[in-house]
Amino acid sequence: MTALVSPQAANIERVGFAVLGLVIEAIDDAGTAAGANGLNVTLEAQIVGDIKSIASGVKSAVPRYGGKVNARPRSARLIGNL
């Protein structure tokens, strides 16, 4: 459906879900240690290339304040704060 509206948005959606899937898998694999110690996720070259291919479109769509992308602090809880 997204591709019908915007091919670029479809690519952003595809890459976003791929990255989210990798993060969820890493959290599941780490178990309770992920909650206690945080988590590092390694991205393969292919997914890094995919992210680079959509980066300019995402950056142009994200509001900027003071020259920086308006993003949540690293410690912000995502679930419940959407």
For 32-52, how does the pLDDT look when each residue is reduced to its tens digit (9 = 90+)? 887 788 888 899 999 999 999
Q: What pLDDT is recorded for position 56?
A: 86
Phi, psi of 21 (to 5 degrees): -60, -40
Cross-strand bridge partners of residue 69: 64
Question: pTM for this structure?
Answer: 0.64
Q: Is residue 9 domain-resident? A: yes
The answer to whether residue 74 is domain-embedded is: no
Buried b (16+ CB within 10 A) or exposed e, 33-47: eeeeeeeeeeeeeee
Q: Structural domain tally of the chain?
A: 1
Structural domain includes residue 78? no
Comparing 72 with 62, which gets the higher pLDDT? 62
In a domain, 82, yes or no: no
Range of the domain at 45: 2-69
Does residue 81 lie in a domain region? no
What are 9-27's pLDDT values in tens digits? 888 899 999 999 999 999 9
